[in-house]
Structures are given as C-alpha cells and as structure tokens.
Amino acid sequence: MRLALIFAAAEDFQPQHEFELPAFVPIHLGPIDLSINKAVLYLWVGALVTIVLGIWIMRFGLSLRPSRRQTTGEGLYELIQGQIAEGNLPSKAIGRWFPYVASLFLFIWVLNIVGFIPLPISSDKFDLFGLELPTWGIYAATANLSVTLGLALITFIATHVEGIRYNGPVTYFKSWIPAGVPKALLVLIAPLEVISQFMRLISLSVRLFANMLAGHMLILVMIGLIFIFSSYAIAVIAIPVATAVYIFEVAIVVTIQAFVFALLSAIYIGGAIEPEH
Amino acid sequence: MEFLLAETTGDVADLGKAIAFGVGVGLGAVGAGIGIGNIFGSMIQAVARQPELRGELTGIQWLGFALTEAVVFYALLGGLLAYVLV
C-alpha cells in the first residue's frame, strides 16, 4: 500500500521533465525546427552576459594602478594565455586562435554559471495574486547535447581547416598516422586514426553535456525526493546533500569544464597546425 | 516477502533494466574513481617533491581529471541508451 502511494506521488514529480524543451515560439523552416525554446533563451542570456562581462572587465577605465575589476580581467587573461594558449598553440597561430579559445572559455563558463542561477524561464506557470508567472528553475544550455555538439563542431571544423591550410592536405592527412608504422599494419591503423578523430568530437561534446546534466539531475532528484516521498523528514538529509552538490558544481565543475573544453580545443587546433609537435 | 513477490507482475523486464543500468554506471564510477584518485595522489607527490612546479602541473592535473571523469559519463550515456532503446 505504501509502495503504491510512493509510486503514485513519483508520477507527479519527475526530475527529467525539467529538461524537456517545449517551444515558446514555434518556427519551422521545412524539416528544420528553429523554434525558440528554453535552451535558446538560456543561450541568449548567456551570450548577452558574456558580451557585457567581457566588455566591462576588459575595456573600461584601465590604469597603471589597477582596480579590483582590472585585476580580475588581467588574472583571467593570464590564466587563458598561460595555461591554455601558450604551449598548446604554436606561436605563429596564437594571434589568430587566442581570441577563439578565450571567448570559448568565457562563454562556456557563463553558460554553466547561468545554469545554476534560478531564472524565470519556463513554460510552467504559477499563480501569484492572479498573475500567471513562469516558475523559477535551474536549467543550463550546456546540459543540452545540441549546444555542446555545436561548440565542439566549430572546434572540429577549425582543426581540420587549419591543419590543411598550414600543411597542405597530403602532409596533414599523413600526419594522422604515427611515424614508423610498418606498411602491413597501415590497413589496421588508418581506420582507427580516422575513428579517433571523430571520437574527439563525441568526447568533447559529451563530456560537457553529461557533466552539466548529471549535476542538475543530482540536485533536482535530491530536492525531488521530498515530493516523491511526500515527507518533510527526508528534507533533513536531502537539502544538505543538494546544497553540497550545488556548491561543488558552482565552485569546481563549472570552471573545470569550461577550462577543459577551451584547453582541448587549443590542443587539437595546435596539434593540427604543427602535427610533428 | 510473499506480498512483494505477489506484487511483481509484468514489469520484471523494467526491473532488470533498472538494475543493469545502476550496476553499469556504478562500475563505470569505480574505474573513474580509481583514476581520479591516482591523478590527485600523483599531483600531491609531485608538488611535495618539487613545489616550484605547482603552477605548471595544475593545468595538466585538471586536464587529466576531466579526461578521466568523462569515463563515468560514457558509462552513463551508454547505460541510458541501452535503457531507452532495448
């Protein structure tokens, strides 16, 4: 009997519903679905915040005696220059690809951090003094495979375009195969190397996507346990665990994932420009 | 116990899928846990031996951490695919 009650309540609240994307403004161009939904709005918010943050940190009131804001900007620049760009991108390409890597880092970081701030972007409504307001919830654009795959595709295409442009197609595609492989093994090695290039695309996008999805899911499930078991006693355990996960995500995972995405992009592009490196 | 056995009608396949999913992701987490422990252990040793290299090693450490951690998510995604498709 109690089991049945639990499952009845569980059907009312399902954490994965937070990741469904109903279209706010349906736009269909033939078979292509360009509807504006929750993920698109989060992307817009993220892009806007990135632009404002970038301009505000880097462009105004720079002086020889730096303010705290300028120190933050310089720290950020040093982090990207020292840890990500230098040593991974060859010096002849650093001027061209540093801006890409830096904006990638900032953009993904902002998208991730915006995902942990409750925002009223949702199709669910709640009633407040007769007003229909959207419910506040957490959702990250990067917890959507399409977004991360899009970002990974830019890196993927840039890698091969730059590799071909700097080395010529023959040298570049030859460089995929490690030096000194016997001719007999070439049949086995060549397909593996081609597959590994596409595995990069998958691992780059899935890493970010699954990290953010798992983080959000964990928080939502922990809070959801209170509703599923419909008992306040659960809250004594669930709320501290959810808070701990939230702090872990915001303090560590958000930055690490943005850092690693930008770092791997730099490594891939740098490796394509100078294959023997 | 008899009560529980009497209740399980029809959804045994779902039960098996749920257990398989849990065990699969759990085993994936074991591997990544060992790997991440290794990375941080080696980092501590390295910094203890040569503290001046800390700055250079931090970047590599986080790269290794993220690459290893992603293994769990491959298990998670594979498990989810199997759970949904089978």
Give residue A13's pLDDT band: very low, low, confident or very high (50, 70, 90): low
Contact B76 A260 (CB under 8 A): no
Whether the per-residue pLDDT at A106 is higher than 90: the answer is yes
What is the residue range of A215's domain? 2-273
Interface-testing mutation among A84, A205, A207, A257, with chain B (most B C-beta atoms within 10 A): A207
pLDDT of residue B7: 54
- Band the pLDDT of A11: cuts 50, 70, 90: low
| CB contact (8 A) between residue A263 and residue B63 | yes
Average pLDDT value for chain A: 85
Q: Which residues of A touch B67 (CB under 8 A)?
A: 260
Domain-wise residue ranges, chain B: 15-85
Please answer yes or no on whether A264 and B70 come within 8 Å at the CB atom. no
Over the stretch A182-208, which tens digit does the pLDDT of each residue have? Answer: 888 888 888 888 898 898 898 899 899
For the cut 80, the answer to whether the pLDDT of residue A116 exceeds it is yes
The confidence score (pLDDT) of residue B86 equals 75
**Total residue length of chain B:** 86
* pLDDT at A62 > cutoff 60: yes
State how far the Cα of B12 lies from the Cα of A178, in Å rounded to an integer: 50
For A172, phi then psi, to 5°, come to -65, -50
The distance of A154 to chain B (nearest Cα, Å) reads 20
CA distance B86 to chain A (A): 19
Tokens representing residue A92 in the block: 């002849």
pLDDT at B4 over 80: no
The yes-or-no verdict on residue A171 having pLDDT over 50 is yes
Query: Would you call A236 an interface residue with chain B, using a CB distance cutoff of 8 Å?
Result: no
Question: What's the number of domains chain A is made of?
Answer: 1
Model confidence pLDDT, tens digit, residues A221-243: 888 888 877 788 888 889 999 99
Tell me if A203 and B70 make a contact (CB, 8 A cut-off): yes
| A-chain residue closest to B60, CA distance | A83
Domain B15-85 CATH assignment equals 1.20.20.10: yes
With an 8 Å Cβ cutoff, is B81 touching chain A? no
User: Is the CB of residue A210 less than 8 Å away from at least one CB of chain B?
Assistant: yes
CB contact under 8 A, B77 and A206: yes
Q: How many CB atoms are closer than 10 A to CB A11?
A: 8
Question: A32-33 and A28-29: which strand pairing?
Answer: antiparallel
Q: Residues in chain A, how many? A: 277
What number of CA atoms fall less than 13 Å from residue B42's CA on the CB side?
Answer: 13
Distance of alpha carbon A262 from its chain centroid, rounded? 10
List pLDDT tens digits, range A44-53: 999 999 999 9
